[in-house]
Structure 1
Amino acid sequence: MRLQSYLQSSVEILAQYSGDIPFAAWLKNHFRQHKKFGSKDRRLIADLCFCYFRLGNAFAWQERGERMLAAQLLCHRNSAFVRECKPEWQAVSDQSLQEKLQFLGASIDDTIFPFPDELSPAIDQEAFRLSFLQQPDLFLRIRPGKEKAVHQKLQTAGIAFSGDGSCLRMANTTKVDEIIRLDEEAVVQDISSQQVLQPLQQQVPSLPSPATAWDCCAASGGKTILLHDTFPRLRITASDIRESILFNLRNRLKRAGVAADRTFVADVSSPRFSLRQKFDIILCDAPCSGSGTWGRTPEQLSFFPNEKIDTYADLQKRIALNASKYLQPKGYFLYITCSVFRKENESVVAYLQQHAGLQVLSQQYFTGYEKKGDTLFAALFTTS
């Protein structure tokens, strides 16, 4: 009966959510206002809600409580909710996702992901759709020289992890901030995000000294720190559109021990944007739909509006075109998104080739959907 109460509470909570802010933040605020929920209650209700969102468009004909139970079967191998509420489903609990979907009478061909026609042809549609039915892992990138200290701290704390070299994976719920000094010793960074500078590394085995780089959409600074760790001699400039973003960025860089030459507020998409300096490397991690990361925010499967794809693509073209004007001759321009949509990726590459006079050296997806990670796109250009 207690599990039925959790199910009912989750149905009521989802009926109040409108998609205006990320569900994790909304739910945290909801629990803050309704203190009757203990830690176990919050954990079980959150799981019911997030698994529900992972269904996307699947089982749309069913009422919300039934869909939640279907999500529990698909997202878990041994769900207490299935055992109590749907004991007749127990026989398939350990079967593959495809077998479970077949048992429930659903096909992934036209369900789960709502924008199949927008996907890049480079994406394995079946694997990508199925990936939403599992929680992505937490990935750490160990900073150079900190490998031994980080491994020792995690082992002492009894944290199970796997991985080689500087990239470690562990359960998404691991509270690493209580164990290691984040940003100083390691950065929370998805496996694909850790790899996204590889095209640049392959083209630039050694840079002239001093070489300059501009991270024109620096956001929280994860790739700024990665750029520093990959090319320690780079003189890095970082910008973003709001001072509040840069305030957090500066604090993070300070924790990481990364000294930026300059940080400044700029709307690079504006036709009035201008700079006096040119750079050897420009990193353009453009604002995007984030569709390659929706495994971490599965509510987007239900609430992301299709028309925003075109909005983002237009913004990306303006930012990338404006930023590319400040590339040194024979310099390198790296365009990055965490999107799987063709319009935000391959179409922007074609646009830059046509309008910015850039020569594309490589373009690729770093696919995380078969690794319990995110999927990112990167295209490397140089001046022709």
Structure 2
Amino acid sequence: MKYFSHLNTAVQLLQQYNGSLPFGSFIKQFFSQHKKYGSKDRKNISQLCYAFFRLGKALPTLPAEERILTGLFLCSAEPNELLQHLKPDWDSQTHLSLADKWRLISDTDAAAGLLAVFPWKDELSANMDHTSFCASFFTQPDLFLRLRPRHEAAVKSKLQQAGVPFREVSRHCLALPNASKIDTVIGTDREAVIQDHSSQRIGELMEFIRNSAFAKASASDGSPPADAMANKPLRVWDACAASGGKSILATDIFRRIDLTVSDVRQSILVNLEKRFAAAGIRNYHSFIGDLSTTTYDDQEPGFDMIITDVPCSGSGTWSRTPEQLYYFDPKKIDRYSALQKKIIAHAIPALKPGGFLLYCTCSVFKKENEEVVQFIEEQLSLQLLQSTLFTGYEQKADTLFGAVFQKK
């Protein structure tokens, strides 16, 4: 039967894969080399492979076939054709709670089995719910859109006309099924940005900075806050620009900014140029820079705000890329933490007195979050104004950490 053929293909793929590149890229290469698989075949095989990874570190001794079917059962909220053909006795039990499913598949304690998915509880940031976080790996996250200013109504109308379902999380945020195809429906980056809900909430910290800058400008020259900020664009440096989502967010929140972006990779800046063009961002500066080794020598008067969305474990996003959870080596936590401290230390000299540092990670580990905050306070003499862990596991979203500092 084709379903067993799909299962066998999934096992073969998992045996060939070693975690060195995103699994999505790996399986795409496989299908491009093997044209015999139709769209339904590709969907089923991909689903089976990701079910394997979603078990994380739990049940490591299960044979690959059993691990795939176990993961598929735990991920299924309703009967489906894969389980119907591959494990029919489980297909009728998909309505059970996650805890009851664990009791059905294993003799071990249900709670202990679930918590084994992500076994590093002691490494978590404060306010993380370990149980809820582990459970989130069995749910496919949503696709989130951030509606750009003045395009809110148009985007919703276009989605409705195209029959694309969505739910309104807030005035500027929509949640869509993860597999939604929207590229031909709306102008991505121009009208709306594909950006996770928690990543969008970093905007709350930017608004905090904006309001603080307003107050400072008003206090210094006696003019109303909005007028004080309007007199001169805010100098903003996105020091780890990557895909540029934070830069576009900053542009929408601050409106008048003198933007500089940098990254260690030339290819990133090339892609960024195309994305900024679609987003209507044309007047900006860019350069290649490795802040892990070099301090950026900025000319006076320096930057009003530096955004450091630093390289990290990405652990807050692993429900989207569960292969990273499966292959993760906890020794990497210390390496990332050390790298983050170097980047911040090399970026700070470019921040003018009274300027703001926005520190961000998509990590759930305290060594990448709270411990770096402590380092910035104690070793770099910046004042912590606010820090927040944006937990997304209850909203089918990522988990991010953000902190705002001011240079004394």
For Structure 1 versus Structure 2, the TM-score category normalised by the shorter chain is: over 0.9
Q: Does 1:230 align with 2:253?
A: yes
Q: Which residue of 2 aligns with 1:78?
A: 79
* Stretch of structure 1 that moved more, 199-208 or 275-284: 199-208
Q: Does 1:128 align with 2:116?
A: no
Q: Which amino acid aligns with 2:281?
A: V
Q: Does 1:379 align with 2:408?
A: no
Q: Which amino acid aligns with 2:148?
A: R
Q: Which amino acid aligns with 1:116?
A: K
Deviations 1:73-116 (A, max 9, x none): 11012132322232322442101112211222253534111433
Q: Which residue of 2 aligns with 1:103?
A: 104
Specify which of 138, 150, 153 is matched with residue 155 of structure 2.
150
Specify which of 318, 328, 334 is matched with residue 310 of structure 1.
334
Point out where structure 1 has 5 or more consecutive residues left out of the alignment.
none
**Percent identity for Structure 1 against Structure 2:** 45
Distance (whole Å) between structure 2 residues aligned to residue 315 and residue 284 of structure 1? 12
Specify which of 196, 207, 224 is matched with residue 202 of structure 2.
196
Q: Which amino acid aligns with 2:192?
A: A
* 1:22-41 matched pairs, under 5 angstroms: 22-41=22-41
Specify which of 283, 308, 320 is matched with residue 296 of structure 1.
320
Q: Which amino acid aligns with 2:186?
A: I
Deviations 1:299-346 (A, max 9, x none): 011112222211111110011111112212211111000000111110
Distance (whole Å) between structure 1 residues aligned to residue 407 and residue 296 of structure 2? 21
Distance (whole Å) between structure 2 residues aligned to residue 200 and residue 48 of structure 1? 40
Distance (whole Å) between structure 2 residues aligned to residue 332 and residue 78 of structure 1? 51
Distance (whole Å) between structure 1 residues aligned to residue 361 and residue 111 of structure 2? 26
- Give TM-score, length-normalised by structure 2: 0.91
- Quick check: 2:307–2:359 contact (8 Å CA) kept in 1? yes
**SS at the partner of 1:344?**
coil
Structure 1 residue 12: deviation in Å?
Answer: 1.1
The alpha-carbon distance between structure 1 residues 73 and 344, as it changes in their structure 2 partners (threshold 3 A), is: same
Structure 1 residue 377: deviation in Å?
Answer: 0.2
Distance (whole Å) between structure 2 residues aligned to residue 314 and residue 25 of structure 1? 29
Specify which of 352, 367, 373 is matched with residue 391 of structure 2.
367
Deviations 1:26-62 (A, max 9, x none): 0000111111111110000000111110011222221
Deviations 1:134-189 (A, max 9, x none): 11000001111111221121111110001131101111101111211111111100
* 1:335-374 matched pairs, under 5 angstroms: 335-374=359-398
Distance (whole Å) between structure 2 residues aligned to residue 285 and residue 272 of structure 1? 17
Q: Which amino acid aligns with 2:80?
A: S
Distance (whole Å) between structure 1 residues aligned to residue 328 and residue 92 of structure 2? 35
Distance (whole Å) between structure 2 residues aligned to residue 325 and residue 73 of structure 1? 52
* Stretch of structure 1 that moved more, 262-271 or 23-32: 262-271
Specify which of 275, 280, 299 is matched with residue 298 of structure 2.
275
Q: Which residue of 2 aligns with 1:89?
A: 90
- Quick check: 1:141–1:166 contact (8 Å CA) kept in 2? yes
Point out where structure 2 has 5 or more consecutive residues left out of the alignment.
215-228
**SS at the partner of 1:264?**
strand
Specify which of 175, 178, 183 is matched with residue 172 of structure 1.
178
* Stretch of structure 1 that moved more, 117-126 or 78-87: 78-87
- Quick check: 1:3–1:81 contact (8 Å CA) kept in 2? yes
- Give TM-score, length-normalised by structure 1: 0.96
Deviations 1:180-217 (A, max 9, x none): 11111111000000011212312432543232111111
CA RMSD, 1 decimal: 1.5
Structure 1 residue 275: deviation in Å?
Answer: 2.3
- Quick check: 1:365–1:375 contact (8 Å CA) kept in 2? yes
Q: Which amino acid aligns with 2:240?
A: C
